[in-house]
Amino acid sequence: MILVTATLPLDAIAHARAVEVGLSTQDWPAWLGDVGKSAGIGAMFAAAGAGGVLALVRRFPRRAWIPGSVVVVALSAGFVFLSPLVLEPLFNRFTPLPPGELRSEVLAIAERSGVEVGEVYRVDASRRTTGANAYVGGLGSTKRVVLYDTLIERFPPDQVRSVVAHELGHVEGRDLLRGLAWLALVTPAALFLAQVLAERAWRPASGADSRLAATPAALPAIALSLALVSFAVGAAGNVLSRQVEARADGFALRMTQEPGAFIGLERGLSVSNVSEPDPPAAWHLLLGTHPTTLERIGFGLTFARER
């Protein structure tokens, strides 16, 4: 809650700017409602996380990173599975894509590519934004493809097909499962490093032992170490994410054979989402989760030239 309060002025400025440029459709009461809801959920997770960390440190003072790794991976898998059922409906309304041309095209692309699509949903994103997007979420019985209503209503059918094919590329590549597998590989090393850093930062009043104490006074050292390690792991994960997204782009181009629609889509998304088509290299290297708009347009031009 302290962090939310501290960043609230900056978040408010960002919202005002989003309204000014036409990206946000929310009025202030609705925006504040979302902030409060997010803060409440975040506070519950933070309290549970802090309690869990202290319990592990108390039980395994030198090796808390080992059971911690198991807990992190298990909770991450559970979050991916449950999020479409529990968290996402708190913020948006999801309805199955009704029978029609678009649904038929989605199922046709899935059949051609041998992908089991699960369900396809339309989400009322327009209650908050004019931006367009789509994503794959859930695991197993909760697996789904979600399309923003802004995408369906404002983009030509061939460009929507391209988005759908891209998301089906993630399903075909089992990218969510691969992401969890990667998390299982890096989490032990990351938490080991975080524990080492936290122990170095932690200085009990007695100065006799640098081992972490299972006390709230140790939480700042633990939180700082986790933040530093998470940033490094996130930057490495973003490299893999860009590769995964590029592969899904290639899948979409092969399935639709419509490079012109793909290029038009990338241009349209950049305008609709008010995004930078060619961000600074350092920013993109550390924080970019997708290829840049110019890179993706390049994918389309290369495909059109070589086919």
SS3 64: coil
SS3 226: helix
The per-residue pLDDT for 186 is 98
Angle, CA 11 vertex, CA 39 and CA 15 arms, to 5°: 115
Helices 157-172, 259-272: axis angle to 10 degrees equals 100
Residues 187-219 have pLDDT tens digits of 999 999 999 999 888 765 545 555 677 788 888
107 C-beta neighbours (distance < 10 Å), count? 14
Judge contact between 39 and 3, C-beta under 8 A: no
C-alpha–C-alpha distance, residues 112 and 115, integer Å = 8
C-alpha torsion sign, points 286, 287, 290, 294: negative
> Strands 134-137 and 94-96, how do they pair?
unpaired
- Residue whose structure tokens are 């199955």: 96
User: Which stretches of the chain drop beneath a pLDDT of 50?
Assistant: 206
User: Residue 78: is it exposed, middle or buried by C-beta count within 10 angstroms (0-12/13-18/19+)?
Assistant: exposed
Judge contact between 106 and 145, C-beta under 8 A: yes
The per-residue pLDDT for 206 is 46
C-alpha–C-alpha distance, residues 144 and 24, integer Å = 26
Contact residues for 64 (Cβ-Cβ < 8 A; gap 6+): 53, 56, 57, 191, 195, 212
The per-residue pLDDT for 84 is 95
Residues 129-160 have pLDDT tens digits of 999 999 999 998 999 999 999 999 999 999 99
Enumerate the β-bridge partners of residue 129. 24
The per-residue pLDDT for 115 is 85
Contact residues for 39 (Cβ-Cβ < 8 A; gap 6+): 1, 4
Judge contact between 93 and 124, C-beta under 8 A: yes
The per-residue pLDDT for 216 is 85
- CA dihedral of residues 121, 82, 290, 118 (deg, nearest 10): -40
147 C-beta neighbours (distance < 10 Å), count? 24
